[in-house]
Amino acid sequence: MAVDNLKQFVFRNKEVLMFIVGFGVMHIGWYNLQRNSSLNKAIAASRDKETIKEYKRLEREINANWSEKPSSQQQHQPQTSGIILSSATSFTEKSPNAH
């Protein structure tokens, strides 16, 4: 008897029940979208924070390696390039294929 009454109630109120179920599903979907949106924002903020940290670390490393003070590498650089240029010119002068 109770099952028959329940079947009749559902059959008579299909639209109302479907509206309630649909509204509930829509509400759950909206909640998940909001939660995912805030999670995505938190993840993006975390990535931005890591990117800024990495950028600052690289900037410090570049500043440390390429400071205005002449390092030993920078002092030897002109001599090395001079040696390379002089050997290249002497090679081209001695080369029989030079026009």
Digitized pLDDT (tens) for each residue of the chain, 99 residues in all: 888 998 898 889 999 899 999 999 999 988 888 888 888 888 888 888 888 888 888 888 888 887 655 555 555 555 555 666 666 666 666 655 544
Six token digits for residue 90: 């002497």
Tell how far CA 59 is from the center of its chain. 18
Whole-model pTM: value is 0.34
Half-sphere exposure for 73 (CA within 13 Å, toward CB)? 4
- The rounded distance, in Å, linking the Cα atoms of 13 and 75 is 90
- The rounded distance, in Å, linking the Cα atoms of 99 and 93 is 10
Give residues with Cβ within 8 angstroms of 10, minimum separation 6. Answer: 17
Six token digits for residue 48: 């931005």
Decide: 17 and 10 in contact? Cβ < 8 Å: yes
**Judging by beta carbons within 10 Å of its beta carbon (0-12, 13-18, 19+), is residue 85 exposed, middle or buried?**
exposed
